[in-house]
Structure 1
Amino acid sequence: MKRNIVIASVAAAALVTGGTAVAVAGTQSSSPAARSASPAAASTGASLTQAADAALKAVPGTLDSIDRDHGRWEADVLGKDGKWHEVTLDANGKVIDQRVDPDDNDPEDAAEAKALRNADVSAIEAARKAAPQSTVTSVEFDGDRTPVWEVETVKNHKERDLTVDAHSGKVTQAPADDDHGDDDSDDD
């Protein structure tokens, strides 16, 4: 049963990401890489792939980030309308809120939007490349310098931060930060 869910999730992601001008070619649903986009948390709800599919169905465009936070999925989408949208989904992947992000629609974001649209590797593909044997909990595009996907993974209860080059797909270990998974709520 789980295999059928994973197969359906991967197929949906391939269709969705193909519609954003980033093709996910040759995905084999039985491979470990295909399974990596389905977080362990998905056993109690939607996988990352299913949540991404639902977010892109609600707001057609290009997925900028998706992560699971407090039992909900939160996705940022650069809509086909050129605006940044925030989509909140429940644990099962049902859209519970969507809105245009008022903070992310100024001229400074034009460079980020251009870099995201020009990425050769989609968010879901980056998740698969980064974590063939791990659970992906977050994927976020960073186009500030060299465009990369920042991918957070968990394996054997250990968190790992990786980067995936948005053009080549090369996976590297992200530089260590000093907050060790901290949410910055107690930083000065």
Structure 2
Amino acid sequence: MKRNIVIATIAAAALVGGGTATALAVTDDDGAPTPRSGERAASEVRDDDVLDDEDGQDDDVTEVKSPKTTAADALTAALRHTPGTAVSAELDDEDDADDDTGADVVTWDIGILDSAGSWHSVHVDPGTGKVLSSRTEREDADDTARVRAALEGSSTSAAEAAEAAAAQGTVTSIELDEDAGSPAWEAETRARNGTGHDWLVGLRTAQVTPDRSSDDD
């Protein structure tokens, strides 16, 4: 009974005003709202039905853009600037990225160990591939010794490991894991939908395998 009264009231108002009712909020006899035929309740709307106003992309999906300068290219550029052995590369993509200029920018942070045993942090622009800054860092002598021991006899450089891991996605970091029972390069990759994966790259074979230890983190 209540439903008929509501429908009649809205229809009458539309006819008097010469307009058209564009939406009907119909209630049943218990007073609860009932979706119009062909519509879904808000609880039934899936996440992928919600679109951005401008580009039509899903609001809950963030498209990951690959840097123009890959990890391998950034490592090569850093080594041209600061000769030595590259042992890590990380794409610092946080909004509050800390760099030598004090600006909040995205950079590749390359770790290099030179022949004299000094450590260097070299920042490379991921857009242009140019070296932005470089600074010397202090590391414990024992850590340096472990790195040198792990790399002894290695035939796969950090850049080569990054190239191998790039077949799995965009490489966002690579570093030497010298503490493992079998030292290897650890690589992180990211798919276009933001999904991240961890990999191990052999120091001598450059073979890429899933990093199962990361499943325990």
* TM-score, normalised by the number of residues in structure 2: 0.57
Counterpart contact for 1:51–1:93, Cα < 8 Å: yes
Q: Where do residues 17-166 of structure 1 align in structure 2 (5 Å cutoff)?
A: 40-43=65-68, 46-70=69-93, 71-91=106-126, 92-102=128-138, 104-145=139-180, 146-157=182-193, 158-166=195-203
Pair 1:56–1:42, CA change in 2 (3 A): same
Counterpart contact for 1:76–1:85, Cα < 8 Å: yes
Counterpart contact for 1:147–1:166, Cα < 8 Å: yes
Pair 1:108–1:125, CA change in 2 (3 A): closer
Pair 1:128–1:166, CA change in 2 (3 A): same
- In the TM superposition, what is the alpha-carbon distance from 1:40 to its structure 2 partner? 4.7
- In the TM superposition, what is the alpha-carbon distance from 1:76 to its structure 2 partner? 0.3
Letter in 2 for 1:141: L
* TM-score, normalised by the number of residues in structure 1: 0.65
Q: Can you list the C-alpha shifts for 1:119-138, whole angstroms capped at 9, x where unaligned?
A: 22111221222232521111
- In the TM superposition, what is the alpha-carbon distance from 1:108 to its structure 2 partner? 3.8
Larger Rg: 2
Stretches of structure 1 lacking an aligned partner (at least 5 in a row): 1-38, 180-188
- Aligned Cα RMSD in Å? 2.2
Identity %: 36
Rounded Cα–Cα distance in structure 1 between residues aligned with 2:175 and 2:183: 11
Q: Can you list the C-alpha shifts for 1:161-182, whole angstroms capped at 9, x where unaligned?
A: 0001212322211123466xxx
Pair 1:98–1:161, CA change in 2 (3 A): same
Instruction: Provide the secondary structure at the position in 2 that maps to 1:132.
Output: helix
Instruction: Provide the secondary structure at the position in 1 that maps to 2:167.
Output: coil
Instruction: Provide the secondary structure at the position in 1 that maps to 2:67.
Output: helix
Of structures 1 and 2, the one scoring higher in RCO (CA 8 A, sep 6+) is: 1
Rounded Cα–Cα distance in structure 1 between residues aligned with 2:177 and 2:199: 12
Q: Can you list the C-alpha shifts for 1:40-97, whole angstroms capped at 9, x where unaligned?
A: 5323xx2223211221012101110111103111000111222221112233332222
Q: For this pair of structures, how many residues does the alignment match? A: 138
Stretches of structure 2 lacking an aligned partner (at least 5 in a row): 1-63, 94-105
